Amino acid sequence: MSLQAQLVMLLWLPVVLYLFTSFTAQRAVIISFIAAWLFLPQNAGFSVLGLPDYERMSATCYGILLATFIFDVQRFRSFQFNWLDLPMLIWCLCPFASSMSNDLGAYDGLAQSLQQTVSYGIPYFLGRIYLNNLIGFRHLAIAIFTSGLIYAPFCLYESRMSPVFHQLIYGYVDVRAFAQGFRYGSFRPTVFMEHGLAVGMWMMAATLIGIWLWQTGVVKQIWGIPIMWLVIGLLFTFILVRSTGAYLYLLLGCIILFVAKKFRTALVMLLVMLAMSSYLYMGATGVFNSERIHGIVSALEMVVEPGRASSLGYRMSNEELLSEKARHRPIFGWGGWGRNRILEENWEGELVDVAITDSLWIIAFGINGTVGLIALFSSSLLPSLSFFWLRYPARFWFKPEIAPAALLSVVITLYMLDCTLNNMPNPVFTLASGGIAGLALNKSETKKLSNHSSLARQPSSVSAASLKFPRINK
């Protein structure tokens, strides 16, 4: 970690506090999470005795919690635990059960649970208390779209010149991400993120949000430029990000949204959730074997580049090996310290991985077992399901008041779909999951719409003076 990276990390906590003095609390939370995720250094932080490492997202969470205590303490009283919060609670506590069931000790269990709480539980909790209304999701959707526009020049430069910004600004680079940064005859941008795949997922979300904000009329202009042209420019940039999976997610997201608009149904989104659940069930129970994997790869080679299809087949073959080991500890998994991995000695006598753990689902299954796997995916999929099943059916998704929240529920579903293939945790999407859960439980928001109450009409343009978030005129 370089000196400038250390300095930025030390300054970030007071920056978060400053944001709470300059913006409303809701906007400060959104700015803090997105700015930290997009621009703070990778693999930088400090060890704190008895606490998870102080790094970009834990610093953001600590700063927001401290600012809430100082400036907005009544916000904590608004939280009421509900059944939708149970999966996240289980996911945060599961490492303790995993450690105890593997005789790793209570201290290890508490430390692992605390780490999981900071990484997942606090972003979810902050979403529950700050983004549990339709206005909050309008802010978040526009912020993600705007962040995509801001990130676009960085992506365009790196797609031509190679991933260099992290090296230029912070003085070091993730060798693994750089080595995997060449795709389709040119470079795949990483900018300040962990990997090009993370950039692809973020730019996919920003592009999908831009398309739906444009189509539903939520926003007409940003910085005085018609949103249509901004969406076209962002789509062009997204293509140059060179992430095959993200391309498919954008196509699937568009299908979900436009089917909802045309036929007034969320059936496609429900089918995606069912397909995802089936895949996890088959992967965890060992249904996939070499013959079935070969069939899947052969089918994919007809629609994507053979190299990408082969990469997926290699990943699935590794996951089957890891799943077989995980099934020896099916309830709470193997716990931490790499016990879920499969290791063998190489010719030099060193222990090396026989199977690569690429996807988040197999990591969760191996470390925290079936309980952890179900809890992790339920913590995001159940809020999205409840959003359209209990509160806002698809026939309302193209209404300007509801469109941003519907967008984020779709993005969260696509993000969890990506977690079946990659391990790119994104706390902004976890924040949105908590907000969607809060919105699904917030009956007052539904009553406002059903009674035709004056839900604030937002301005249809975003000025340069309000770059991050347009002000709301009530």
pLDDT of residue 454: 42
Q: What mean pLDDT comes out for the span 45-63?
A: 84
pLDDT of residue 176: 58
> Is residue 466 over pLDDT 70?
no
Share of the chain above pLDDT 70, in %: 90
What gap in Å lies between CA 238 and CA 155, rounded to an integer? 8
- Using 50, 70 and 90 to split pLDDT, how confident is the model at 56? confident
pLDDT of residue 297: 81
Buried b / exposed e along 173-196 (16+ C-beta atoms within 10 A):
bbeebbeebebeeebbbbbbbbbb
What gap in Å lies between CA 30 and CA 469, rounded to an integer? 10
pLDDT of residue 177: 56
User: What is the identity of the amino acid at 8?
Assistant: V
Contact 228, 214 (CB under 8 A): yes
> Is residue 458 over pLDDT 80?
no
pLDDT of residue 430: 96
- Cα distances (Å, whole numbers) of residue 397 to 60, 135, 390, 403, 410: 31, 15, 14, 5, 11
pLDDT of residue 317: 87
pLDDT of residue 442: 82
Pairing of strands 221-222, 461-462: parallel
* DSSP 8-state symbol, 353: E
Neighbours of 169 (CB within 10 A): 15
pLDDT digits (tens, 9 = 90+) for 430-450: 999 999 999 998 876 666 665
Contact 388, 409 (CB under 8 A): yes
Neighbours of 130 (CB within 10 A): 27
> Is residue 350 over pLDDT 80?
no
Q: Give domain limits for the chain.
A: 1-77
pLDDT of residue 473: 36
pLDDT of residue 382: 96
pLDDT of residue 300: 78
> Is residue 351 over pLDDT 80?
no
E strands, 277-413, in order: 343-345, 351-353
Pick the range with the lowest mean pLDDT from 157-161, 219-223, 293-297, 416-420. 293-297
Pick the range with the lowest mean pLDDT from 267-276, 345-354, 403-412. 345-354
pLDDT of residue 455: 39
pLDDT of residue 448: 62
> Is residue 49 over pLDDT 90?
no
Name the residue with higher pLDDT: 461 or 316: 316
**Is the backbone of residue 341 left (phi > 0), alpha (psi -120 to 50) or beta?**
beta
Among residues 51, 124, 375, the alpha carbon closest in space to that of 367 is found at: 375
- Using 50, 70 and 90 to split pLDDT, how confident is the model at 44? confident
Among residues 340, 384, 200, 360, the alpha carbon closest in space to that of 280 is found at: 360
24: exposed, middle or buried (Cβ count in 10 Å: 0-12, 13-18, 19+):
middle
- Using 50, 70 and 90 to split pLDDT, how confident is the model at 346? confident
> What is the distance between the terminal CA atoms of the chain, rounded to a whole angstrom?
47
Name the residue with higher pLDDT: 97 or 355: 97
Name the residue with higher pLDDT: 78 or 311: 78
> Is residue 470 over pLDDT 50?
no
- Using 50, 70 and 90 to split pLDDT, how confident is the model at 298? confident
pLDDT digits (tens, 9 = 90+) for 61-109: 999 999 999 998 999 998 999 999 999 999 999 999 999 999 888 889 9
Contact 362, 334 (CB under 8 A): no
pTM of the model: 0.90
* Mean pLDDT computed over every residue of the chain: 87
Contact 288, 320 (CB under 8 A): yes
Q: What mean pLDDT comes out for the span 398-427?
A: 94
